[in-house]
Amino acid sequence: MTTHVLRVTGMTCDHCARSIEKALSGIAGVIRVEVSYASGQARVETAADLPVSALVGVVKAKGYGAEPAGSAGPAVPGKNEPGLRIAIIGTGSAAIAAAIRAAEEGAAVTVIEAGTIGGTCVNIGCVPSKIMIRAAHVAHLQSAHPFPGLKKQPAIVDRAALVAQQQGRVSELRYSKYESILESNPGISLEKGFARFKDAHTLVVKKPDGGKKDLRADRILIATGRAPAIPDTPGLKDTPYWTSTDALVAAELPQHLIVYGGSVVAVELAQAFLRLGSRVTLVARSRLLSGQDPALGEGLKAVLEGEGMGILTDADVKNVRFDGKYFQIDLGSETLKGDRLLVATGRKPNTAGLDLDRAGVKTDGSGAVIVDDRMRTSVPHIYAAGDCTDQPQFVYVAAAAGTRAAVNMTGGDATLDLSLMPAVVFTDPQVATVGLGVAQSAKLGLETDSRTLSLDNVPRALANYDTRGFIKLIAEKGTGRLLGAQVLAGEGGEIIQTAALAIRNRMTVEELAGQLFPYLTMVEGLKLCAQTFSKDVKQLSCCAG
């Protein structure tokens, strides 16, 4: 009998150790196996004629690294032990959150970036879009506010000046929240270049000068984000269409902007351009916000049309042409003509060039990396976080996932619970949701009772002279336990977190109705909606408890 000791890399928990034990025990000639996650070693007793290479091959086939303990190479560190090498592909919110936490745990972290540091949110997503939306809101109020004692006048818009201010703030935040962290944290190093997998533990980084560098790591995090997905519409790819990236930095306002898409990015930017002075026609392949309860999309559509936007839903774009000055969008029954076309029909994962198959990392049909609630991929020591995964595409989800991935890569055990993820669409009024809708509840076998409160019943909305929208609460029938909330309202994003906390604490609508809410606030609408489960709020005094 012979005893072999293997050094095993890539284990993240005791479950990994048990998985390796099972695989090794299945080899003919293996007598006894003990695998320790804490020490990073496998002790295998075998028949004398069984070569150690057979053991190493089986461990590697499971997605882990393995070598005889007596051979050269770094020992596998345990939690907080110096020497753990982590490579992170990307420098967006998920990547930087992971890098900071992993460095705090004592790991040596290398982040790899092929383009601009900071990812989508700060550079071409959340930050610039919200600045533009806010400026458009101010412009809209100048000409469309509800107060007759204040003179209304069209806003005089200097689009180039707005973009300069916007991009100045983008640069500030990129430096303070991303670049300065990479510069000042001694546990994090930056490698510029495009990374792809050579094998499950090795990345090949193609440098800007054309050179290549191999980077070997104990753990790897994929955090490469997404890019605009362009539909295969005849003629479209031969035209100078805009993506959201182009639209956000456009120095001139279109005379007639055609927006192709009906989801979050499409409706947010369409309203912003409309309020800054462009004529806007939105063309949606189905309905607005098709992933949400239909009432939310219908309510928003009525608002946008009321502001003057043309909206075509369930539209089939047959062909797109550009004659050098105008786009022509063929819908079959009619042809739209505009000087700019914004394509906002979704985003695709940036995974195509990573050679994930070389590492054995599995993706779904869209190319998104499949992860579990610990951000583990199909390969135990490779993790993924952010928009490149099959998780919801929100920056706060990405950052939370990145932090939890780092905890798990360094020996901890952290999960990400997305059952109560609040979401906001930053139109005006805002669309905000959390928890379960009626249809989702039914799929889970839950009987529900729901109430919808129009905003003309909310004192703050009346005081604002803006009663567009509603608040809807969904409760479990019988118990009254709050299951979900849907809001179409000004400041809807500020309202929804209160609903999330109420659901998290398993409050009933009766308990929510009995809470003290400050008067006059929009969030008081949650209390009023909760009260409608048992009474007619029209018969209450303005701030009745």
Which pLDDT does position 73 carry in this prediction? 35
Secondary structure element (H or E) that encloses residue 348, with its range: strand 347-349
Tokens of 105: 């745990």
CATH 3.50.50.60 residue window(s) in the chain: 85-119+166-228+348-409, 236-345
Say which DSSP state 350 is in: S
Say which DSSP state 467 is in: -
Q: Exposure string (b/e) for 169-203, b if CB count within 10 Å is 16 or more?
A: ebeebbeeebbebbeeeeebeebebbbbbbebbbb
CATH 3.30.390.30 residue window(s) in the chain: 423-539
Q: Exposure string (b/e) for 431-445, b if CB count within 10 Å is 16 or more?
A: bbbbbbbbeebeeee
Top-level class of domain 423-539: alpha beta
For β-strands 256-260 and 430-435, DSSP reports them as unpaired
Give yes or no for a cis peptide into 540 (omega within 30° of 0).
no
Please name every residue paired with 9 in a beta bridge, in sequence order, or none if there are none. Answer: 65
DSSP 248-270: HT-SS--SEEEEE--SHHHHHHH
Please name every residue paired with 5 in a beta bridge, in sequence order, or none if there are none. Answer: 43
Please name every residue paired with 286 in a beta bridge, in sequence order, or none if there are none. Answer: none
Task: Please give the Cα distance from 406 to 86 (Å, whole number).
Answer: 9
Phi–psi pair at 132, nearest 5 degrees: -65, -45
Residues known to be catalytic:
11, 13, 16, 64, 121, 126, 542-543
What does CATH list as the number for 2-68? 3.30.70.100
Fold of 236-345: FAD/NAD(P)-binding domain (3.50.50)
Tokens of 96: 């930087």
DSSP 147-167: -TTS--------HHHHHHHHH
Which pLDDT does position 80 carry in this prediction? 45
Which pLDDT does position 13 carry in this prediction? 63
Instruction: Return averaged pLDDT per consecutive 10 residues of the chain, 545 residues in all.
Output: 83 76 88 81 84 86 78 38 86 98 97 96 97 98 96 96 98 96 96 97 96 96 98 97 98 98 98 98 97 96 98 97 98 96 97 97 97 96 98 96 98 94 98 96 96 96 97 97 98 97 97 96 97 86 64
**Whether the Cβ atoms of residue 200 and residue 379 lie closer than 8 Å to each other:** yes
3-state secondary structure 314-325: CCCCCEEEECCC
Fold of 85-119+166-228+348-409: FAD/NAD(P)-binding domain (3.50.50)
Task: Please give the Cα distance from 422 to 164 (Å, whole number).
Answer: 32
Report angle CA 388, 394, 397 to the nearest 5 degrees. Answer: 85
Count of Cβ atoms closer than 10 Å to residue 515 Cβ: 14
Query: What predicted TM-score, i.e. pTM, was given to this entire model?
Result: 0.84
Phi–psi pair at 408, nearest 5 degrees: -70, -35
For β-strands 85-89 and 219-222, DSSP reports them as parallel
Sign of the alpha-carbon torsion through 128, 129, 131, 136: positive
Task: Please give the Cα distance from 179 to 129 (Å, whole number).
Answer: 21
